[in-house]
Amino acid sequence: MKDFSYITNSSPAYIESLYQDFVKDPASVDPEFKKFFEGFDFAVANAVNGHAPAGAAVDASQLGREFSVYQLIQAYRKKGHLIAKTNPIRPRKDRKPNLDLKFFGLSEADLNTVFEAGKFIGKPGATLKQILDHLQQCYSTSVGVEYSSINDMEKIEWLANAVEKTLLETPSIDQKKRILEKLNQGVIFEKFLHTKYIGQKRFSLEGGESTIPALDAIINTAADLGVQEVVIGMAHRGRLNVLANILGKTYEQIFNEFEGNIPADTTMGSGDVKYHLGFRADHTTPNGKKVNLQLVPNPSHLETVDPVVVGFSRAKADVLYQSEYDNILPILIHGDASIAGQGVVYEVVQMSNLPGYYTGGTIHFVINNQIGFTTDFDDARSADYCTSVAAMIQAPVLHVNGDDPEAVVKAVQIATAYRQHFNSDFFIDLLCYRRHGHNEGDDPKFTQPSLYGLIEKHPNPREVYSKVLIERGDVDADLAREMEKKFWGDLQERLDEIKQNPIPYKIQKPEEAWEKLRKATAEDFDQSPETAIPAAELKRLFDGLMKWPSDFKPLKKVEKLLQDKVKLYETEGKIDWATGELLAYSSLLVNGSEVRMSGQDVKRGTFSHRHAVIYDEVTNKQYNRLNNFQENQGQFRIYNSLLSEYGVLGFEYGYSLASPNALVLWEAQFGDFVNGAQIMIDQFITAAEQKWQKQSGLVMLLPHGYEGQGPEHSSARLERFLQACAELNIVVANITTAANFFHALRRQLAWPFRKPMVNFSPKANLRLAESYSRIEEFTSGGFREVIEDSFVENPAEVKKVLFCSGKVYFDLAARQLKENKKDVAIIRVEQLYPLPQKQLDALYRKYSKATWFWVQEEPLNMGAASFLKMNLNSINFGVISRQPSAATATGYAKVHAQEQAEIVETAFSI
């Protein structure tokens, strides 16, 4: 803190001169002085000029001391959280808050002195003791208020007013009973499960049950402030409790899951453990407001759900509410160790105010058990708080004692009102404890004997609150006991019914937007649907892409690129790769579908091929080439992302879950960058339909191809995706022509179901003439899973078949053409999964006399070779590839060229 002792010790003449400086030019004095002088207004003017009115508490000699009191007030607002009594279990660390009176040139001798500075907390003419008592009640009891990172004075003053008013308000009797009721539900639900299902994992909320009245208050407050949907993401701890007592999943359903009953419908997939499942329900608040609640399913990878929730919320806001973010509220429930330790939290928080990822603010609720698995917080973070990431975006944090549910409810009401008012993130740090180990079968005393000695003796939050209510006379002791007895009895009745008459295991119906879609079957992949568009429509869309407003001046290079595309279309009747891609999006947009795309540099494309958005060379104004075909078309939303894969891919996946009629795409700058998002792929994209019956049509574009650019810029790890393929879960493609890419994109919305698709996109081939397609390939047919060799004239004369996918085809085809090899057929497998078995079998019969070889650029231990050897049993084939390698590719251009030449040479010589 600044040393303002020179003000305190200065003469009245100096203080008067300082004030006169302020009067002449307010900007000339320190902002702290400015605010102080503005607050005193005419009282200061009178005082410094020596004629204070009768009864005024300020004179010239006391002005410095008034400023000291003002500084004391500001210090409590900024640093009171460092002494707040927020920990229900153990004493807090000394964080050196420097809030003693001596740091402000004051002492106990001043406690009964009246200070006008009290007006800064709404108490003009209060004694220092009264001022100090007020500050301690607001800032150093059960709630620690942290907002010193905020620069916006409007937000600071709003928070100060909210805290100093709301935290001192006494809840009504009805509000207290509501809090007790929700605590009752939370505590007894856990006790009941612990008693009836001994040893079963449930990742209980015991110790943190104040979460239940907190979520209840957030939802009810949000509904009063206009929220129509709440989307919640959380890990497994406390999930069953939230499902039961917030979302209203019936106790019968939960008990049924504990009994281990399996669904009669075996087509529903693998399913998942009960503490990973999601749920959706309509909720009516005590004030009669309707709000839809949704808990997103989540695996055990802590925090992975975070970007999914915010992406889902953004999609709902865009599609249903015309981007009115006040209508939908994302809530992320974190653990203290995970919010501090997991990098995806940083990525999600960093994207929160960016145009492509803004959701109008997220409420972050931390269930702070003060321990992660077996790790104490001293070993889990370097920051003072697990929520220190909030300072990055100037988000306020309220640290709250979990044993004071009234303070918890007040804190979340402030958070919800702030979110709705400022559309910004807010963090609630619920300091509590974990009564059991990591799970109910784990003994926490192995590593924290002293901590768990305290926890064993500590009453649960319901007992603490009941005692407070009874001592204050707010609730009769008999009523508190009766509430517990009745709730326990209700649970027992439901459990008895389940044991006697197990209910059928039912999955929730999909949201209304998804009801028209169905589950895919193997037959759906025998042949792709027709996705061609009429020639006149193609021409209209092409012309629309190639024009811009008359007052817009594109960069000369870009203008030349577009002119070349027009020339290609008009003189050769062909369309290049980038235009084929944009035509696919355009054709969907004019039919009313939405298209969203994000990734690093996607507006122009990493390889400067897309130019979906062009820039005025003088004004730098942007022009979106796809949003101006007609009125009432769908929106093409394209965003250059932050430098993130994990968080952004999760966001786009969440976006795809919210609307089946939107084509959602994410493009990696280079394909291997997707490695940074592997958890999202493994836990959500490839498995969610089997685990949670969640369909998604997300498209991932991963640049891939061996061009001598080293191991990090060659391979998008095709083998990893193929290893994850089963049960028709995703589509894996390695497409070689503009038209086939056009049809693949349109097919995503043409199917009566949705599947994620990953395409191993070309790099150099983006401008390769052989990848361009004739106009008629866009105006007839659909996606071709396999492309047969048109160079071969007589199948009976073919001695060798080389089948491959992606870029290597063009190297093989060049050699075939150069040597006029009519006895070698080259077949392109454009879709590797679901494997086009019937088409390949038909070609195997057609070229029955030939020897077959799979040719790939990747090393033998990578690429599609092992996948095909395991799954393509009907065809006898050899493999031609690079030698097995630990790295995906060489970093030496000459070595690369030699290896590539050897692959081609081997393919044509053996």
How many other C-beta atoms can be found within 10 angstroms of the C-beta atom of residue 403? 26
Instruction: Give me the long-range contacts of 92-95 (CB less than 8 A, separation at least 24).
Output: 95/384
Q: Mean of the pLDDT values across residues 195-200?
A: 72
State the pLDDT confidence band at 244, using cuts at 50, 70 and 90: confident
At 22-36, the pLDDT tens digits run 777 777 766 666 667
What CA–CA distances, in Å, run from 815 to 102, 706, 825?
A: 87, 17, 12
At 540-568, the pLDDT tens digits run 999 999 999 999 999 999 999 999 999 99
Is residue 502 over pLDDT 60? yes
At 715-757, the pLDDT tens digits run 999 999 999 999 999 999 999 999 999 999 999 999 999 999 9
Is residue 12 over pLDDT 60? no
State the pLDDT confidence band at 300, using cuts at 50, 70 and 90: confident
At 800-831, the pLDDT tens digits run 999 999 999 999 999 999 999 999 999 999 99
How high is the pLDDT of residue 1? 38
DSSP annotation string for 249-318: --HHHHHHHHTT---S-GGG-S---GGG--EEEEEE-TTS-EEEEEE----SSTTTHHHHHHHHHHHHHH
Q: Which pairing describes strands 126-127 and 114-115: parallel, antiparallel, or unpaired? A: antiparallel
How high is the pLDDT of residue 9? 47
How high is the pLDDT of residue 505? 53
Task: Give the type of residue at 712.
Answer: E
Q: What angle, 0 to 180 degrees and rounded to 10, lies between the N-to-C axes of helices 738-750 and 577-589?
A: 20
How many whole angstroms separate alpha carbon 80 and alpha carbon 84? 6
For the chain, give the mean pLDDT: 88
How many whole angstroms separate alpha carbon 212 and alpha carbon 184? 9
How many whole angstroms separate alpha carbon 95 and alpha carbon 83? 8
With H, G, I as helix, E, B as strand and everything else as coil, classify residue 460. coil
How many whole angstroms separate alpha carbon 806 and alpha carbon 812? 11
How high is the pLDDT of residue 54? 41
With H, G, I as helix, E, B as strand and everything else as coil, classify residue 208. coil
State the pLDDT confidence band at 259, using cuts at 50, 70 and 90: low
Higher pLDDT among residues 350 and 446, named by residue: 350
Percent of the chain beyond pLDDT 70? 90
Q: What angle, 0 to 180 degrees and rounded to 10, lies between the N-to-C axes of helices 646-658 and 343-350?
A: 70
| Of 734, 763, 655, nearest in space to 351 by CA | 655
At 402-459, the pLDDT tens digits run 999 999 999 999 999 999 999 999 999 999 988 877 776 777 778 888 887 888 888 8
| Of 374, 369, 376, nearest in space to 438 by CA | 374
How many whole angstroms separate alpha carbon 739 and alpha carbon 828? 14
- By the 8 A CB rule, do 804 and 760 touch? no
Residue 434 host element (H or E): none
Q: Mean of the pLDDT values across residues 360-383?
A: 88
Task: Tell me the whole-structure pTM to 2 decimals.
Answer: 0.90
Is residue 490 over pLDDT 90? no
How high is the pLDDT of residue 57? 39
How many whole angstroms separate alpha carbon 249 and alpha carbon 129? 51
How high is the pLDDT of residue 21? 73
Percent of the chain beyond pLDDT 90? 65
State the pLDDT confidence band at 265, using cuts at 50, 70 and 90: low
At 618-677, the pLDDT tens digits run 999 999 999 999 999 999 999 999 999 999 999 999 999 998 999 999 999 988 999 999
How high is the pLDDT of residue 461? 86
At 117-158, the pLDDT tens digits run 898 898 888 999 999 999 999 999 999 999 989 999 999 999
Q: Mean of the pLDDT values across residues 73-90?
A: 92
- By the 8 A CB rule, do 368 and 336 touch? yes
How high is the pLDDT of residue 58? 42
How high is the pLDDT of residue 4? 46
Q: Which residues contact 859 (CB under 8 A, 6 or more apart)?
A: 881, 882, 883, 884, 885, 888
- Of 48-62, 260-274, 379-393, 802-816, the range with the highest mean pLDDT is 802-816
Residue 48 host element (H or E): helix 42-48
